[in-house]
């Protein structure tokens, strides 16, 4: 049961929630806790996520960043973040308008890390000492970020309108800045933790509560190990990878397999011959399923990785992009899972079979590493009230 925080002196706080699923999810518990502490919280929230704040006593300003017409014009081979670029461009435009027309004297402005508040503030003229940023993942990277995938394209119209220079939102996440940062991990579970500074406040990850979805028709086969495979919401269209997984575990007497392919994949079109030991879904209630899972093949998104660790599951990490590689390296370094690097290894069916077997066979060894990580999460979370009092003094 989640501990209720004791109230503190009230501040007027505006939270500009993230517009991507994982980033929004990271902000929900922060919003709830700030409200519990007695702060007067207003949320600027995209219409897609607004209902998820219904049970929290905050003011909501709901806006739309609909780019469905643009999405129809993008080529099928457009990279996953291309449409997100247009969505960010539109969201920033709408948010600037909302903020210019909001006459509330806020004590603090809390932004998701993907918003380029320095460029936005050339128009807004707000006191930058009032800015706080929420980070859903590591603030550093060992990856070379590729800026050629269309992430800047969708920002250009907003740049032109306001004569600003919005930076690539992925690169922005790992660009040093002077703002106070609420980072949803522990310092122990952070790439190069000694390189972080005193603006970094580690508050531990948000693990969503297990909510039972009775429409999910899964039944576990107790005679087999349950293998769960997911590449998350952004990179779920990697059909070749899913077919290699099917090749690896087809008709296995050892594994029952569930694959979550995301909402953009037509299962009937792309999976003509689904083996009997497989179930393929567009959506899986992950926090509901994970307590039943024996091995987890994950793209190493921060939320999924944190949830896997919290459930003590041996993981095979197959990162697709960006911080997912840093997360995978960190999990492997802390002896809590197996990292398969698609950039250096051809991830064949044989490679997948061996990795899954090794992960399960080493589950007791990984348990020590997982425990050390989750203990650090618990400690970071226990410091949240003190951190909020410091950040929102």
- pLDDT value, residue 203: 97
Q: Structure tokens of 311? A: 């459930």
Residue 172 within a domain: yes
- The verdict on 173 and 229 lying in the same domain is no
- The verdict on 238 and 332 lying in the same domain is yes
Mean of pLDDT values over 337-342: 97
pLDDT tens per residue across span 142-191: 988 766 556 788 999 999 999 999 999 988 889 999 999 999 999 999 99
Residue 219 within a domain: no
Q: Which position has the higher pLDDT, 240 or 75?
A: 240
Task: Assess whether pLDDT exceeds 50 at residue 1.
Answer: no
Identify the weakest region by mean pLDDT among 15-29, 32-46, 242-256: 15-29
Instruction: Let me know if 123 is exposed, middle or buried by CB neighbors in 10 A (0-12, 13-18, 19+).
Output: middle
pLDDT tens per residue across span 366-380: 999 999 999 999 999
Q: Kindly give the interhelix angle for 80-100 and 117-124, rounded to the nearest 10 degrees.
A: 30
Q: Which residues contact 258 (CB under 8 A, 6 or more apart)?
A: 218, 226, 227, 228, 229, 278, 279, 280, 281, 284, 289
DSSP code, position 129: G
- pLDDT value, residue 235: 73
Q: Structure tokens of 379? A: 């400690």
Buried b (16+ CB within 10 A) or exposed e, 249-280: bbebeebbbbbbbbeebeeeeebeeeeebbbb
Residue 188 within a domain: no
Residue 279 zone, left/alpha/beta (φ > 0; ψ -120 to 50; rest): beta
Kindly give the residue spans of alpha helices, DSSP state H, lying in 232-281.
239-249, 267-270
- The verdict on 179 and 229 lying in the same domain is no
Residue 39 within a domain: yes
> Measuring CA to CA, which residue among 120, 158, 117 is closest to residue 134?
117
pLDDT tens per residue across span 79-128: 667 888 999 999 999 999 999 999 999 999 999 999 999 999 999 999 99
> Measuring CA to CA, which residue among 259, 200, 233 is closest to residue 49?
233
> Measuring CA to CA, which residue among 218, 221, 317 is closest to residue 259?
218
- The verdict on 233 and 360 lying in the same domain is yes
- The verdict on 146 and 273 lying in the same domain is no
- The verdict on 165 and 17 lying in the same domain is yes
Q: Structure tokens of 90? A: 């539109």
CB 313 within 8 A of CB 337: no
- The verdict on 113 and 57 lying in the same domain is yes
Q: Structure pTM? A: 0.89
Buried b (16+ CB within 10 A) or exposed e, 345-382: eebeeebbbebbeebbeeeeebeebbeebbebbeebbe
45: confidence class by pLDDT, cuts 50, 70, 90: very high
Last residue of a domain, one of 126, 160, 183: 183
Residue 101 within a domain: yes
- The verdict on 275 and 335 lying in the same domain is yes
- The verdict on 278 and 135 lying in the same domain is no
Residue 190 within a domain: no
Number of domains in the chain: 2
Distance CA 132, CA 39 (A): 15
- The verdict on 230 and 142 lying in the same domain is no
- The verdict on 171 and 22 lying in the same domain is yes
Q: Residue 335: which domain range? A: 225-376
Percent of the chain with pLDDT strictly greater than 90 = 78
Mean of pLDDT values over 38-62: 97
Q: What is the CATH number of the domain that holds 18?
A: 3.40.50.2000
Residue 107 within a domain: yes
**What's the whole-number average pLDDT of the chain?**
92
- The verdict on 246 and 363 lying in the same domain is yes
Residue 205 within a domain: no
CB 315 within 8 A of CB 331: yes
């Amino acid at each position: 049961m989640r501990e209720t925080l004791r109230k503190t002196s009230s501040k007027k706080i505006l939270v500009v929630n993230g517009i991507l699923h994982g980033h929004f999810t990271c902000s929900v518990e922060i919003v709830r806790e700030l409200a519990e502490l007695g702060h007067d919280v207003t949320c600027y929230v995209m219409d897609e996520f607004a209902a998820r704040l219904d049970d929290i006593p905050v003011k909501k300003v709901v806006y739309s960043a609909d780019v469905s017409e643009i999405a129809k014009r993008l080529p099928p081979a457009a990279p996953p973040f291309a449409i997100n670029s247009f969505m960010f461009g539109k969201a920033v435009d709408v948010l600037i308008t909302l903020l210019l027309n909001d006459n509330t004297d806020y004590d603090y402005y809390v932004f998701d890390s993907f918003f380029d508040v320095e460029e936005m503030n050339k128009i807004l003229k707000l006191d930058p000492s009032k800015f706080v940023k929420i980070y859903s993942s590591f603030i550093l990277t060992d990856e070379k970020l590729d800026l050629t995938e269309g992430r800047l394209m969708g920002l250009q119209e907003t740049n032109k309108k306001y004569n600003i220079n919005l930076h690539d939102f992925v690169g922005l996440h790992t660009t040093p800045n002077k703002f106070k940062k609420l980072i949803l991990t522990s310092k122990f579970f952070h790439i190069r933790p000694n390189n972080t500074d005193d603006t970094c406040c580690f508050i531990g990850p948000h693990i969503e509560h297990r909510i039972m979805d009775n429409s999910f028709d899964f039944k576990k086969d107790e005679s087999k190990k349950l293998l769960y495979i997911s590449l998350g919401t952004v990179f779920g269209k990697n059909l070749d990878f899913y077919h290699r997984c099917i090749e690896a575990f087809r008709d296995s007497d050892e594994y029952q397999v569930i694959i979550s392919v995301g909402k953009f994949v037509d299962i009937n079109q792309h999976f003509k011959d689904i083996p009997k030991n497989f179930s393929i879904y567009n959506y899986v209630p992950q926090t509901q399923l994970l307590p039943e899972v024996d091995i987890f093949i994950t793209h190493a998104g921060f939320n999924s990785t944190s949830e896997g660790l919290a459930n003590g599951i041996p993981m095979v990490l197959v990162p697709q992009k960006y911080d997912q590689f840093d997360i995978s390296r960190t999990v492997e370094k802390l002896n809590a899972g197996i990292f398969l690097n698609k950039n250096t290894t051809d991830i064949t069916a044989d490679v997948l079979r061996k990795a899954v077997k090794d992960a399960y066979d080493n589950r007791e060894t990984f348990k020590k590493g997982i425990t050390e990580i989750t203990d650090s999460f618990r400690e970071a979370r226990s410091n949240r009230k003190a951190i909020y009092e410091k950040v929102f003094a």
